[in-house]
Amino acid sequence: SLSDRLQATMKKIRGRGKVSENDVKQMTREIRLALLEADVNFKVVKSFVKSVQERAIGQDVMKSLTPGQQIIKVVQEELTELMGGEQTKLNLALKPPTVLLFVGLQGAGKTTSAAKLANYIRKTHNKKPLMIAADIYRPAAIKQLQTLGGQLNIPVFSLGDQVSPVEIVRQGMEQARADHHDLILIDTAGRLHIDEGLMEELDQIKAVSHPDEIFLVVDAMTGQDAVNVATSFNERLDLTGVIMTKLDGDTRGGAALSIRSVTGTPIKFVGMGEKMDALEPFHPDRMASRILGMGDVLSLIEKAQATIDEEKAQDMQQKLLSASFTLDDFLDQIGQIRNMGPLEDLLAMMPGANKFKGMKNMQVDEKKIGQIEAIIRSMTSQEKNDPDIINAGRKKRIALGSGTSVADVNRLLKQFKDMKKMMKQFMGKTKGKKRNPFNL
């Protein structure tokens, strides 16, 4: 793969104390081959190699104490630059709703990415999304979006497959306004190749929806083709961003490197799997480091934060429902999130929980997590399973054992009780209720 090739090249020079002009030339030759083999656009490769060479042979590197490392840094920086330099932020409307339009070829991952992004933005920006099903051509396309919406508890607007996509979008926008959705995601049809009919339809959808972002969804596995597709769509629709999917697969990675410099359109998100949480903001510098095998600690940390084992979350939900959620489970959860972030983040991951108004009161100060742990650990298992038996005497003992005060113990017990009550109320509300199309 591209990474393997580049890493092998980098290894040769990493520890070198001295690097000659010849070494640099040989190294850039190898980089050039590696990039071409990875299906990076040849023009892109040419200018890339040129900048690396200029900078590497320049004064900075040759005078440096560890030229080998300096060169790696140069390559890393140039790769980052190639992919757009800075991370490009999502464009949210100043005046809601924010409208996101998803376009691309069939099978690229539009429907999946729309649902993933709806879920992501709901979590990160606390939005109320509505997805519009405007692919009336692909069999079961509407059903697919509805299924994903159902999983994520995100409503889907559909008028079946007998109404034109433009009309569906028009009415969907009206519905979204009426229901105060501040985030609208429009899933559109794709074709096997770009054709005039598809483009015309997308033009019209664009005209009625005034999107804040037009995302081209491309499959990373298609390599150089992805770049051609991006060029065509961009000429016609003025794309604002690219979502590159299936980067988890065995891709040659070339598309990620050339798409920005060929089309001028930044990659904003990458799909890393089929699951609904497998979507990440695209960071050019991290991608460059990953390609060069320099490790990617930041991404890993971010991933750990975003990935709470789905099974565990469901298990917890089940326990809350059946009122068998104990302080031990609470402690378990705290342990899990200790290094991951505030408790509200964990709660926000439970389906629908982020809509719950009472959430703010249950925020746990991260600094206090240690204290909470200490308090719970100072309880007997009987107390943990049935906190109601914790009387004044027991509270004093627990406070002493955990190095806290009775007030701290009281606060924790109240928090735990409130949390249980609120979750039960919330679950009771959604449970058993038939979902109407807008999930009201």
Residue nearest ligand GDP, Cβ-based: 271
- State the nearest-atom distance from the C-beta of 141 to Mg ion, in Å: 5
Neighbours of 365 (CB within 10 A): 10
158 lies in the site for Mg ion, by CB under 5 A? no
Single-letter residue type at 73: K
Residue nearest Mg ion, Cβ-based: 111
Number of H helices, E strands in the chain: 20, 8
> Which candidate, 305, 263, 269, places its Cα nearest to that of 284?
269
Closest CB to ligand GDP among residues 122, 246: 246
188 lies in the site for Mg ion, by CB under 5 A? no
Closest CB to ligand GDP among residues 274, 365: 274
Using CB under 5 A as the binding criterion, the count of chain residues that bind Mg ion stands at 3
- State the nearest-atom distance from the C-beta of 35 to ligand GDP, in Å: 23
How far is it, in rounded angstroms, from Cα 58 to Cα 321? 66
Single-letter residue type at 327: L
- State the nearest-atom distance from the C-beta of 110 to Mg ion, in Å: 5
Closest CB to ligand GDP among residues 61, 108: 108
How far is it, in rounded angstroms, from Cα 16 to Cα 9? 12
8 A C-beta contact, residue 437 and residue 176: no
Closest CB to ligand GDP among residues 249, 264: 249
- State the nearest-atom distance from the C-beta of 360 to Mg ion, in Å: 37
The DSSP annotation for 401-437 comes to: HHT--HHHHHHHHHHHHHHHHHHHHHHHHHTTPPPPT
Q: Kindly give the pairing relationship between strand 279-281 and strand 267-271.
A: antiparallel
Strand partners, 281: 269
Closest CB to ligand GDP among residues 271, 284: 271
Binding residues for GTP: 104-111, 187-191, 245-248
Which listed option, ligand GDP, Mg ion, none, makes contact with residue 287 (CB within 5 to 8 Å by class)?
none
How far is it, in rounded angstroms, from Cα 144 to Cα 113? 12
How far is it, in rounded angstroms, from Cα 440 to Cα 433? 10
Which residues sit at the interface with ligand GDP, rule CB under 6 A? 104, 106-112, 190, 217, 245-246, 248-249, 271-274, 278
111 lies in the site for Mg ion, by CB under 5 A? yes
Closest CB to Mg ion among residues 83, 141: 141
First to last CA, the chain: 49
Binding residues: 104-111, 187-191, 245-248
- State the nearest-atom distance from the C-beta of 251 to ligand GDP, in Å: 10
- State the nearest-atom distance from the C-beta of 26 to ligand GDP, in Å: 36
**Interface contacts to Mg ion, rule CB under 5 A:** 110-111, 141
